[in-house]
Structures are given as C-alpha cells and as structure tokens.
Structure 1
Amino acid sequence: MAFRMYEGKDHVKAYLHYRVTPQEMINRIMDFMKPKAQQKFNLAVDVGCGNGKGTILLAPFFDQVVGTDVSHAQLELARANSLCSNVNYSQCPAEELPFESSTVDLVTAMTAAHWFDRSRFLAEADRVLKSNGCLALFSYTMDMELEYGSATSALNNICDEFYTALLPFRNPYLGTSSLKIYLDMFESCTYQDKEWNGCLRVNRTVTVDGFIGMVETFSSYQKLMRQDGAEAKRLSDDIRSKLLAAMQVSSPDTELTMVVKYFYMLARKP
C-alpha cells in the first residue's frame, strides 16, 4: 500500500521550515557511488521529494536532478524554492516513475520510502537504474535527543514523554519504528554490493521552539491535531514549559543541540 501524506498547505510549510536538511547523508551517498563511477553522473531521481530541501543538495553532483512526489502542494513549494537550473520536479507515484529503463544513476528517497508500496517501488527502482546505478534510502527514528549541558538527561526524559504521548496516534502501518521497514527492504534487495547503517547521529543547533515545531510535523502529531486541536496545543505547550524549566531559561528561542538518528541502505545495481 502507498500513502498520500503531507498535503495540507500549513503542514507543507511547517515541513519546509522545521525538517532537517540531510547534507551528511548526501555525502554518504556520493562516497558510496564514487568508487565505481566510470563517467560523470547524469541523472538523479529523488522519490517522495516533498518540498525539495534534500533534492537540491544533489544538484552539484549530477547534470540533472528530478524530484518526484504525489503531493501537488509539496511540489508547488519545491518549485517556488528551487534556485538550481538543473533541478526539476514531476508529480507521480513512487511506483510509476516517468523514466526510461536503465537511464538513472541514482534513485533515492529521503524519509519517504516507508510510505511506498515497497515491492513495487523496489522493482521500479531496479527498472530505471543503470548498471552500477545506486539505490539510496534513508530515514530517521522519531526519538531525537536534546543536549544542553547538565540538563541533557532531564531534557531527554521530557522528550520521551512527548514521543510516548504521540505513540497512540502513529500509523499502525509503521509500527513503533519505521527502521524495520527499511531493514526489510535492505534484506529483500538482491544487489550484492550493498551497505546498511542502523544509526548515524547527526547534530543540529535548533531552538526549543524549533524542536517543538519539528515534532509537530510528525504524522502522529498531525493526526492528534485533527482529532483534538486543543489537546495537541496543550501537549506542545506543556512540553515546551517543561523543557524551558529544565534548562532554567525563559525564552523558547534558546538554542540547544538536537541529535537526529538516521539509518540508511545503499545498494549498487550490478
């Protein structure tokens, strides 16, 4: 089953503002591709590209980059924010890519593949990839950690409270973590040259409000908000107050370190 997510305009704007841009993961992908590169890379396809924040990071490495998504609202925002002449966007399902067979150097999906029809998507990626082309899929767990001096332990207890409150609203298709979905895709991929990493820690400096805003983009929080907007706001306000108290500061613009735990699979087509 494939899902349509992140299509409300307010949600789309929040996603653009708060979600992490994964430059570290782009570096890992390119390091994996370069050892067997026989020529300059021509085409990369970012499937489920959303607002294009990750898509444009591929621009320096390819003659052409195409981001695809089913969401018209996401693609509108991606096009409006794209300054790269070699990046374009196309609206289509992940399982029906508009490319000829054996024409793509890289197929990637950044925090999106868990929503795809996995077997159909993997077959479609195999169809469009060239020989020696790369499939790169990654996402992160929903348990980001916060660091702020001696308050770090207390902050992460509060974070756990936030995540636990949202767990009942998580899509049952994903289970408690989407990591297993990606590991299953890795294991079902028949390519012999492949790599799995279950935890790559990426640090970002954010404000307290920035952390709250990111969690509010989660599909589980969005579901709670649709069901009971007042309760969603109460939860966010309560977590914010507790974080500020633990940090002994008053401003939600106070900066701290957020640790995002990525996992990924890289695989090279024979």
Structure 2
Amino acid sequence: MALRMFEESDHAAAYLRYRMTPEEVVTRIMDFMKPKVEKKFNLAVDVGCGCGQGTVLLAPFFDQVVGTDISPAQLDVAQANSARPNVTYRQCPAEELPFEPNQVDLLVAMTAAHWFDRQRFLKEVDRVLKPGGCLALLSYATNDLELEYGDATSALNKICEEFSAVLQPFRHPLASASTSKIYLELFESCSYTDKEWNGRLRATRTVTVNSYIGMVETLAIYQIFKQQDPAGAKLLSDNIRNKLLGAMQVSSPETELTMVIKYFYMLARKP
C-alpha cells in the first residue's frame, strides 16, 4: 500500500476500539473457498490489515495467516493485541508482497483496496495466489451508514446524512469516486472468470452514541478535516453527538443503539 495514511499511534488505537469486524463477509468468503478444497488451507494474507481486527477472523481456517500493512503504528497495535499463534504481521506495500509465486490460498483486503495502486495490486495478487487460490475484496460506503433507535430512527439518519455532508469536501482524491464504484471497477478489471460480486450485504452492530462518533472519527475523510481544522472537527463531533442524544431523548452518550453497515464485496478464484 504505497499511500501512507493512518500512521499516528492514537489513530491506530482508535481503529482497534471503534472499527467493525466483517464476520458476515468472512463467512461468505469461506463458503466460496470450501467447495474446491476439503482439507484445511495453508496460507491467508490480509493486505492493508490495519490493527488486525479482520486478520484474526481468518485464523480458524488456515495454518498461517499473515497481515500486511505499510503503517508501523497499525502493525504495533495489531501485534500487541494478537493472541493467535498462527497469526503474524509484516510491513510492506500492497503492491510488493513478501511471498513466493503461487504460495497464497486466500488474499483478502478489508476496507483497504481503494488506497492501493489497483492495477499493480491485481498483478501482485495473480503472482502470489496459488492456482485455485482466491481473492476477496470488501468494503462499505461510509456515507451509507444508518442508525436505528425506535421511533427516533428517521431523525437519527437525517443527522447521519448531515454529518456525512459536512465531511464530503474533505474526501481524499484516491477515494473521490464512490467506494462501491471503485470496488466494482476492481471486480471488472480482474481477469479471473470464476468470480462473484455482491453489492449489498446488510450487517448490524450494537454500538453506543460515543462509539458511533468514534468510528466516524477514524475515517480518512474526518482525519483530513481534523488535520486542517482541529477545533472545527471537534465542534462538529460534539454537535452531532448532542443532536443524536436530543433525537433519542436520552442524556448519556453511552446509550446503545443499532448501527447498520452495508458491505459490498468481490470474490474471485485464480484458474
């Protein structure tokens, strides 16, 4: 991953605390792989692994799982919180992976591939995957998150839309197109014929108001705003938090509600 972002230690720690883990998509990935191979798989690689939340989800299915990232801060958090003996981490770009040709059973990137040099990355994927090995890329649209809390649901989502609208001018150029469009283009660019696209997999998580705000604050779009205007970013977070609490008619930012995430993903098998 040649683009250097998410490298501050506080930001990496916030990733671990607030980002959601895509268990539902990992289940779909393994269902896609299992019909072709009866025995346990050898090696999975999670590219752009960040703090390793998604990496450890692969551990039960593989002899070895390696998470790779270009950020030392993210990898420090991942290693400090890894209790799986078959999970290790390596620092490297997504386009230059430290594996031999035809070595990898599964290569996955979870909410990371939009930061890669996409054509170089696909070439590297083809180099390291075994024949029959699988590529899985997944993400979600950060401007399509929803909150649910009884009769306040409609009001909450108008507030979410307001949060997203204020942040839109701070989108990074590499993510200026809609994220789903970027992944669909990756799907179409992949030369493998055995492949699947899923445009929307709905997942729900119980979160608090504070953890929803914290999750949004980990996004690149918010971090760019924060770098340019720290006071303005804090004011925005505080304002959105207060509006959410008002709509819910509660006083505690630790009040729980439901967050809806809409994942999209591609799966492809190397011939």
Q: Tell me how far apart the structure 1 counterparts of residues 173 and 160 of structure 2 sit (CA, whole Å).
A: 21
1:5 aligns with 2:43: no
Q: Tell me how far apart the structure 2 counterparts of residues 3 and 91 of structure 1 sit (CA, whole Å).
A: 13
* Secondary structure of the structure 2 residue equivalent to 1:151: helix
Q: How far is 1:133 from its partner?
A: 0.4
Q: How far is 1:38 from its partner?
A: 4.7
- Give the partner amino acid of 1:6: F
* Secondary structure of the structure 1 residue equivalent to 2:199: strand
Q: TM-score, normalised by structure 1?
A: 0.98
Q: Which moved more, 1:95-104 or 1:31-40?
A: 31-40
2:199 is aligned to 198
1:180 is aligned to 181
Q: Which runs of 5+ in 1 are unaligned?
A: none
1:20 is aligned to 20
2:111 is aligned to 111
Q: How far is 1:49 from its partner?
A: 0.5
Instruction: Give 4+ residue runs of structure 1 displaced > 6 Å after superposition.
Output: none
For the Cα contact (< 8 Å) 2:114–2:174, is it kept in 1? no
List aligned pairs for 1:132-151, cutoff 5 A: 132-142=132-142, 143-151=144-152
Q: Tell me how far apart the structure 2 counterparts of residues 92 and 77 of structure 1 sit (CA, whole Å).
A: 16
Q: Tell me how far apart the structure 2 counterparts of residues 91 and 20 of structure 1 sit (CA, whole Å).
A: 22
For the Cα contact (< 8 Å) 2:102–2:128, is it kept in 1? yes
2:170 is aligned to 169
Q: Tell me how far apart the structure 2 counterparts of residues 212 and 72 of structure 1 sit (CA, whole Å).
A: 25
Deviations 1:59-101 (A, max 9, x none): 0000000000001111111111000000011101100011110
Q: How far is 1:179 from its partner?
A: 1.1
Q: How far is 1:40 from its partner?
A: 2.2
Q: How far is 1:39 from its partner?
A: 3.4
Equivalenced residue count is 270
2:74 is aligned to 74
* Secondary structure of the structure 1 residue equivalent to 2:150: coil
Q: Tell me how far apart the structure 2 counterparts of residues 187 and 61 of structure 1 sit (CA, whole Å).
A: 28
For the Cα contact (< 8 Å) 2:102–2:131, is it kept in 1? yes
1:230 is aligned to 231
Q: How far is 1:135 from its partner?
A: 0.1
Deviations 1:78-130 (A, max 9, x none): 11100000001110110001111001100000100100000000010111001
Q: TM-score, normalised by structure 2?
A: 0.98
* Secondary structure of the structure 2 residue equivalent to 1:173: helix
Q: How far is 1:176 from its partner?
A: 4.6
For the Cα contact (< 8 Å) 1:42–1:64, is it kept in 2? yes
1:262 aligns with 2:242: no
